[in-house]
Structure 1
Amino acid sequence: MATPLENHLIGLCDGAIDNKRKNPSTFLTNKIGGEPDRLPAVFLRYPSCSLCSSPLAHVVQVYCPLEASPYHRTVTVFACANSDCHGKCDSWKVLRSQCLESDIRSSTEGAWVEATAGQEVPMASTDWCDDADDWGVEEDSGETLTASQTPSTTATEAAPDVSCQLQSLSISTVEDPQVKGPIFQPFYISVVEESDFAWDSGMEHAQELLQEYEQREGATVAELGGCEGGEGERYEKTEARHGDAVFTDFMKKISLCPEQVLRYCRKGSPLFISKPPSDVKQIVPPCSHCGSSRTFEFQLMPALVSLLRIYDPNSELAVEFGTVLVYTCQSSCWISGSSSPMEEFAFVQADPDQKLFK
């Protein structure tokens, strides 16, 4: 469980991305679905499922530069949409890409197109890094400046608009015959601090969901949380149907914001949906490149599942999970000029109640 000192950031679905626009997002964009956006000089291919060899679908893209680091940093998560592969770690892939500001300038030199009058500016990203409290400053131009942008990336007098330059860096602009996986409808992700949520008059919906859960399980959260030392008869009466007290704690925690699709807290504590293996720390392998241990960075939440739908209404392809915990290299190792993303690790937990629907 998270400690009181940990400040988790919550990702929420914030409107559909208009696919009619040309290159509506960049690697600076936090988003669900769509196609991943590559960083300059980084060649990003769709990975394949280790279980069935099918090309994976892009699930989320998270722009998450680290404090005091000179690198732009984006993590992309992929998953297999075949039902036989649901809930299995081997059917997920996590790729981390980084680049310097100088890489952007050299890659976009001579390739940018000046924005026309009245052209809509792409939605800016949010800085997920530790202690980041600048969530965007609105200016008269309509652009949103993020904490990760420096004056050199936002000044207009000496250099072309970087947001316009970055529009040409989408993976879809790379002429590559690679096979792509299913494409989910894209949505922007907005970010809030978990501490912004409280049990007050504005949280009626969250309280209603918690009450529905308690009625369905036949006991209150307080009873479920305090049944360990009771007699066997009382335990049988108040135990949740899924038989997992960890799931009860999970539901209680997210009841403050049931709509959350992502939780971010690098080096923080993950929120397990079911009891993890006793050797979970040994299950997470060290970085395959530098050998450093991996640390928890963010996790995908159950509310995301209903948003992962492809455009074809006749297709039954989807991604099912309880929660997906993403672990990344603690030192975030990167060789300047590298053209390949670093592979990280995803620990997948299935929904404990999912077996009730099969």
Structure 2
Amino acid sequence: MAASPTTVVELGFAEPPESPLIAENFPSKVGGRPAWLNPEHILFAEQVRCGVCCKPMILLVQLYTPEDHPPEAFHRTIYVFCCKNGSCHKIAWQQSFKVFRSQLPKNNPYWSENESNPDSSTTKNSPAKQCIICGLLGSKMCGKCNQVNYCSKEHQIEHWTSGQHKIHCNIISTSSSIIEEHNNRCRKLVLFPEFEIVTEQEGENRNEERDGDNNSLNEASSKALVPVGDEIYENTDVDVDKAFLKFQKRIEPYPEQILRYNRLEYESEKNPKPLWVSDIDKPTAQDINPCPYCGQERTFEFQILSTLLNYLEVDHLQQGSLDWGTLLVYSCKYNCHVENIYYISEILWRQNFSDDGLNWKKDLK
């Protein structure tokens, strides 16, 4: 994904990866362990602890979003971390998400300048040791075998029990394939499932044949005129907020989309706007603070839709399950570069569906 000179929206879809989503390929993905753009300097647990339960958050989404300006943003990745405990979000959702921007110039110690062979690595410096579970900085080590690294006490305990390290620790004869099988089983308990994010521009026909004869959305919205990009709404029989109707109308051709990317080139004077899911809970100018490093405004870059929850194996019937209408990510418009700061915090805003919108969705089921 890259900034666009126009208002074209790129849509993201979650698909099972055909090959490992490793850092050398600059992936955009959901869940799993982070594929670090800067393998020498990676985030540590204290930087991504939930402000409610104090446990390390896990990767929700990472997007590779290279840009031409400034030169330091030739390689650019946005990381979104999330607390897996939905109860924390209900207490203080602002403390249950973290967003970071990482970027590198074209000439760097880690990745080849040969664009015809992007899979080749030129790492000159030693990569940081990673937590065996989540991929954060492995600043701690098993005191018995001195072979396994962890980001935190929480993940060391998890690996000792569900990862069965208490069995494999200091046992040289254990098969590496068995150990990795247990590691993956432990990661599955802790992390979100991993999917590759594939993109296409809004307006392209992703599904050549779509069955719309019995589409309940069309039946309901036929009583409400909601033209995309128009400010005229005729709402006679359907009692829902206008933003929600516009949202449903806009995403209806692509019901499986999980993400909408709409960042404009930094020279543009027109800032992109998200596709709101409700007329309420919109951020104010005070909610989206300027970049603390360069003082410039943060602008909307992309949004994560609630359809992603279907891929995260979230049990919606549980009282403490994750839930959102959309997650909006705002980043520094000018991609400011700060020497020796490898991860710059950006802003995430959560917007929920209104009660009217939720009731209408239930009526469609």
The alpha-carbon deviation at position 262 of structure 1 amounts to 0.9
**Structure 1 residue 329 corresponds to structure 2 residue 332:** yes
**Hey, what does 2:307 align to over in structure 1?**
303
Question: Are 1:154 and 2:160 an aligned pair?
Answer: no
Alpha-carbon distance in 2 for matches of 1:292, 1:40: 28
Pairwise CA distance, 1:245: 1.4
1:98 maps to a residue whose letter is Q
1:343 to 345, 351, 356: 345
In the alignment, the residues of structure 1 paired with residue 287 and residue 223 of structure 2 have an alpha-carbon distance, to the nearest angstrom, of: 31
Task: Measure the CA separation in 1 of the matches of 2:330 and 2:322.
Answer: 20
Once residues 102 and 44 of structure 2 are traced to their aligned partners in structure 1, the CA distance between those partners, rounded to angstroms, is 12
Partner of residue 202 from structure 1, selected from 198, 208, 225: 208
Q: 1:24 & 1:49 partners in 2: Cα distance?
A: 26
Give 2:263's aligned amino acid: R
Secondary structure of the structure 2 residue equivalent to 1:102:
coil
Tell me the distance in 2 between the aligned counterparts of 1:305 and 1:155: 35
Question: Alignment partner of 1:299: what SS?
Answer: strand
The structure showing larger relative contact order (alpha-carbon pairs under 8 Å, at least 6 residues apart) is 1
Structure 2 counterpart of 1:104, one-letter code: P
State the Cα deviation string for residues 54-95 of structure 1 (Å, max 9, x = none): 321211010001124433111000112222233633321111
Residue 176 in structure 1 maps to residue 174 in structure 2: no
1:7 pairs with 2:8: yes
The residue matched to 2:224 in structure 1 has which SS? helix
Instruction: For 1:261 and 1:52, locate their aligned partners in 2 and report how far apart those are by CA, in whole Å.
Output: 27
2-structure distance, mates of 1:290, 1:303 = 35
The count of residues paired between Structure 1 and Structure 2 equals: 288
Partner of 2:163: none
C-alpha distance in 2 between matches for 1:161 and 1:279: 42
Match of 2:78? 75
Instruction: Please name the residue that 2:216 is paired with.
Output: 212
Shift of 1:318: 5.1
| Aligned 8 A contact 2:64 2:76 in 1 | yes
Q: Secondary structure at the match of 1:285?
A: coil
Q: 1:242-288 deviations in whole A, cap 9, x for unaligned? A: x3111110010011111111111114221110114576233211112
CA distance in structure 2 between the partners assigned to 1:9 and 1:32 by the alignment: 16
Separation in 1, partners of 2:138, 2:260: 34
- Which residue of structure 2 lines up, in the alignment, with residue 264 of structure 1? 261
Larger mean Cα displacement after TM superposition, 171-180 or 252-261: 171-180
Deviation at 1:220, TM superposition (A): 2.0
| 2:138 counterpart letter in structure 1 | E
Contact 2:32 2:192 in 1 (8 A): yes
The answer to whether the 8 Å contact 1:270/1:298 transfers is: yes
Cα RMSD of the aligned pairs, angstroms, is 3.9
2:27 counterpart of 1:29: yes
Matched, 1:65 2:66: yes
Note closer, same or farther for the CA distance 1:100–1:278 as it changes in structure 2 (3 Å cut). closer
CA–CA distance in 1 between the matches of 2:288 and 2:232? 29
**Distance change (3 Å), C-alpha of 1:261 and 1:228:** closer
Instruction: Tell me which amino acid in the other structure corresponds to 2:121.
Output: V
Work out the CA distance in 1 between the residues paired with 2:105 and 2:117: 17
Task: Tell me the equivalent position of 2:195.
Answer: 187
Q: Which moved further from structure 2: 219-228 or 53-62?
A: 219-228
In 2, Cα distance between equivalents of 1:317 and 1:269: 31
Match of 2:145 in 1: none
Cα deviation 1:229-250 (Å, max 9, x = unaligned):
87xxxx6x6133xx31111100
Aligned residues with identical type, % of pairs: 26
AA at the equivalent of 2:208: G
Residue-by-residue CA offset, 1:122-141 (whole Å, 9 max, x unaligned): xxxxxxxxxxxxxxxxxxxx
The one-letter code matched in structure 1 to 2:116 is: T
- Quick one: which amino acid aligns to residue 191 of structure 1? T
- Equivalent position SS for 2:313: coil
What displacement does 1:227 show? 12
**Residues of 2 paired with 1:335 and 1:89: CA distance?**
25
Which letter maps to 2:251? I
Q: Which amino acid aligns with 2:276?
A: F
**Hey, which bits of structure 1, 4+ residues long, moved more than 6 A?**
163-166, 224-230
Report the Cα offset of residue 346 of structure 1: 0.5
How far off is 1:316 after superposition? 9.0
Matched, 1:289 2:248: no
Distance (whole Å) between structure 1 residues aligned to residue 51 and residue 136 of structure 2:
27
Within 5 A, what are the aligned runs for 1:87-166? 88-105=93-110, 152-154=114-116, 161-162=120-121
**5+ residue gaps, structure 1:** 109-148
Q: Distance in 1 between matches of 2:251 and 2:95?
A: 26
Q: TM-score, normalised by structure 2?
A: 0.66
Structure 2 matches for 1:226-237, cutoff 5 A? none
Distance 2:81 2:299 in 1: 19
Change in Cα spacing, 1:89 to 1:174, as seen in structure 2 (3 Å) is closer
Q: Does 1:275 align with 2:238?
A: no
